[in-house]
Amino acid sequence: MDTTGGGTPVSEGALPSPRFPIEDALRSAGLWALVTLGLCFPIVAFETLQDFSNRLTIQARPLLVLFAVAAVFAGRFGWLALRHHGLPQLLPSTRFELTPERKKQLPRIGLAALLIFPFFALLLTGQGGAVKWIDNFGVQILIYVMLAWGLNIVVGLAGLLDLGYVAFYAVGAYAYALIATYVIPATVPGLGPWAFWICLPIAGILAAFWGILLGFPVLRLRGDYLAIVTLAFGEIIRLVLINWVEVTNGNAGIRTPYITFFGLPFSSRTGETTFGDVFSLPGSPAVHRSMFLYYTILALALLVAVATQRLRRLPIGRAWEAMREDEIACRSLGINTVNTKLTAFAIGAMFGGLAGAFFGARQGFVNPRSFEFMESATILAIVVLGGMGSLVGVAIAAIAVIGGIELLRELSFLKQIFGPEFDPGQYRMLIFGLAMVLMMIWRPRGLVGARQPTMPLDGNAKAISSSHVKEGHG
């Protein structure tokens, strides 16, 4: 039995070695440099260029390689030296714990911050800048918070590794696009203004249905096999969306009606009464619209959070977690693991579908490009980074990941350093990957690895260390 866990600092009893072992450090740095050289050889050392007659020529870049190797050498040596002199104490090491009272307040503070965020943005950046902050940051992040919270039910609670979650997002978005664009105008055009609110539950139900449909074939699969099949499922849905041109309009996508405030448009070219007119609000229609979107997605995301918290305290949620811990023991206690898995897939998918419907209404346009595997990977990364099962951790991870990606677009000053062709957005995957690796070294079980018990005997139960909590995946 492993009860020691991973968090015990080893150095407490051991004496630090008196002298910095320069030879060892040099050898290690040399090795790292050598590996860098090997890695550089095909990728960095040569550059392909097109000459005047459009032929490809290869050009060597020895200086660049030299620079990279030297940088790694110096970096490794410096790191070893720093570590020897006690850098880890300076870094916020694994002791990142808050007091229990603070922890209790964290969700409430977070919620208050989320509620006032749009007004705060408006105050700081004015009408012009606010839309970007509310829509590009706020709404975008909240969509991912909602998606990650939805996936958290499947991966974090039930322990079923799902790499195709974006499929349900797509189902929701296309459900909205098809119903709002074609079905409602063709049948009951009077319902047009309510399209979003009608489509929302339909998208959720459809996605849940597809979740069950995915659930059946993967019931008997575990771990890697489950991951591969769910990944394939995500790709199948995307390929169907691309190729079923008569319905989905293929790669060209579908233009959907813009979201309205229960029938009141936010802006109008034809002179209809707009939302701003009726409530005689100051400010531009774009701000009204983004605020409305913001509070809508905030409400939807909170719905997921509240539902998750409630479900965790119900037999179904406890059965999910028990299944993650030990499926065989579950069955020996009379729990039907087939139904338990299917409900996890269905409810997770339903929340993905709701987020999808919102996405469709917000973009005013859906096409299959929005539902590539990269989206699934990002959502899963958020769940893993946040700490599987923890709502607060997942929300923080979503802010960090999506906010970080969006912020990269903002770093235009880098253009002045690296030249006008430099696009920091192109490096987002590199930075994202690096951050992931570092996080997993620093906190292998995510930001909030500890599990909160669902039912204390008397008063308050303390969190359970991640060393006891299993990860499931099957």
Which residues make up the interface to other proteins (CB under 8 A)?
A: 1, 3, 307, 310-311, 314-316, 318-319, 321-322, 324-326, 328-337, 343, 451, 453-457, 461-462, 464-465, 467-470
CB of 456 to other proteins, least distance (A): 6
91 vs 328, which CB is nearer to other proteins? 328
178 vs 354, which CB is nearer to other proteins? 354
Instruction: Determine contact, residues 454/316, Cβ cutoff 8 Å.
Output: no
Q: What is the 3-state secondary structure (H, E, C) of 52-96?
A: CCCCEEEEECHHHHHHHHHHHHHHHHHHHHHHHCCCCCCCCCCCC
DSSP three-state, residue 165 = coil
Here the tokens at position 273 are 């009464």
Measured CA angle at 105 (ends 100, 111), to 5 deg: 150
Q: Assign residue 14 a region (left: φ > 0; alpha: ψ between -120 and 50; beta: otherwise).
A: beta
CB of 441 to other proteins, least distance (A): 22
CB of 153 to other proteins, least distance (A): 13
116 vs 464, which CB is nearer to other proteins? 464
264 vs 311, which CB is nearer to other proteins? 311
CB of 411 to other proteins, least distance (A): 41
276 vs 387, which CB is nearer to other proteins? 387
- Report which secondary-structure segment, H or E, holds 100: helix 100-131
CB of 410 to other proteins, least distance (A): 40
CB of 463 to other proteins, least distance (A): 10
Nearest to 327 by CA among 313, 316, 338: 338
Burial track 93-112 (b if 16+ CB lie within 10 A, e otherwise):
eeeeeeeeeeeeeeeeeeee
Here the tokens at position 44 are 């960095």
327 vs 375, which CB is nearer to other proteins? 327
CB of 149 to other proteins, least distance (A): 16
Q: Cα(257)–Cα(274) distance, rounded to whole angstroms?
A: 15
Nearest to 114 by CA among 403, 448, 307, 348: 403
157 vs 399, which CB is nearer to other proteins? 157
